Amino acid sequence: MRVHANDGISAQAVNSLKEDGLKVTTDHVPQDDLAAYMNKENVEVLLVRSATKVRRALIDECPQLKMIGRGGVGMDNIDVAYAKEKGLMVINTPASSSISVAELVMAHVFTLMRDLHKSNRNMPVNGAAKFGEMKKEYGKGAEVRGKVMGVIGFGRIGQWTARYALGNGMKVIYVDSRATAEAIELEVGGNTVRVPVKMVNMDELLAQADVITMHIPAQKDGLAVLSAEELAKVKPGVVIVNTARGGSIDEDALLKALKDGRVRGAALDVFVGEPSPKEELLKEEKLSLTPHIGAATTEAQDRVGDELADQIIAWRASVGVS
């Protein structure tokens, strides 16, 4: 069986697949050339992350394709229903990147609370000439301990983020249409403890949270979960982190809320129109920005690769594909 990982896969996973008798390639092929490459190489299993799109046209142009694998959680870049309708197996790795995303959220939270994003931009330019003034300007940060984190979407990533927040002395409230957790388990000194969390409605979360973090799938109606209406209800001085989807927050409304001062600062790892974020976002000093790296740690990539390889090998054995 021929496997092509167009957005890469860990060496460990490549070895596992090869040991099972599969031929594997990992060189990135441009989107426009992908169908021709797959047909020439008779690729039966296509593995992608977020960069490569697997739409109807690609599926139709590659009749030999049997499986599509997404390294990560969201499947926005794959026409999943159509692929399944055509008889293709579609898999992903929902548990592999939760810790990495949660740690990035906390990194952004600390950055925003202590204005590190502003300081890091200005120190190289003005650090020598205006050290004293900058020390005064950036010396008005806040601690996270005792603050309330509001988690929008309490699935795997949301719950891991809650663990890190609770471990740093924060209180956690959340909104979710399905989860009903009353406590989160933490490992402390080799012991497992249960720490309470509280499910609230959206208006309560907006009014109470000092930090809001978003962990939700793309909305079917395409509307932002945090629009201008919701941002008008947030607690003054809130910080907001979005590592979920580019459309989860109305970017124009967020810029306005930052300029008005109602939102102290925000962090974005995902953007509308990736890979070309709005220029105004990139220039806004109250934003802490990363280029969609939430799941991009060595450990997460190893877990992603292992999970994909295990699923491919198990599927191959179950259907008897050579």
Catalytic residue, candidates 156, 264, 292, 316: 292
**pLDDT-derived band at 219, boundaries 50, 70, 90:** confident
- The arithmetic mean of pLDDT across residues 75-79, rounded, is 92
Q: What's the pLDDT at 4?
A: 98
| Catalytic (active site) residue 108 | no
pTM of the entire predicted model: 0.88
Vertex 201: Cα angle to 198 and 206 (nearest 5): 95
pLDDT of 67 over the 80 cut:
yes
Q: State the chain's mean pLDDT as an integer.
A: 95
On the question of a common fold for 2-96+298-319 and 98-289, the answer reads: yes
- The SS3 of residue 238 is strand
pLDDT for 28-56, tens place per residue? 999 999 999 999 999 999 999 988 999 99
| Catalytic (active site) residue 292 | yes
CB burial of 88-101 (b: ≥16 within 10 Å; e: otherwise) equals: bbbbbbbebbbbbb
pLDDT of 261 over the 70 cut:
yes
pLDDT for 266-275, tens place per residue? 999 999 998 8
- Of 114-118, 215-219, 313-317, give the range with the top mean pLDDT: 114-118
Q: What's the pLDDT at 188?
A: 87
Q: Give the helix/strand (H/E) hosting 34.
A: helix 31-41
Catalytic residue, candidates 187, 229, 274, 299: 274
| Catalytic (active site) residue 56 | no
pLDDT of 322 over the 80 cut:
no
Q: What separation in angstroms does the CA of 317 have from each of 211, 310, 313?
A: 47, 11, 6
CATH class of 2-96+298-319: alpha beta
- The arithmetic mean of pLDDT across residues 219-243, rounded, is 94
> Domain ranges in the chain?
2-96+298-319, 98-289
pLDDT for 131-153, tens place per residue? 999 999 999 999 999 999 999 99
pLDDT of 168 over the 80 cut:
yes
Q: What's the pLDDT at 313?
A: 95
What type of residue is 279? Answer: E
Q: Using an 8 Å Cβ cutoff, are 94 and 158 in contact? A: no
Look up residue 267 and give its DSSP letter. Answer: E
Q: What's the pLDDT at 217?
A: 86
Catalytic residue, candidates 108, 245, 264, 303: 245
CA separation for the pair 237, 172 (Å, rounded): 17
CB neighbours of residue 233 within 10 Å: 13
- Specify the CATH architecture of the domain 98-289: 3-Layer(aba) Sandwich (3.40)
- The arithmetic mean of pLDDT across residues 162-177, rounded, is 96
Q: What's the pLDDT at 24?
A: 97
- The arithmetic mean of pLDDT across residues 209-217, rounded, is 96
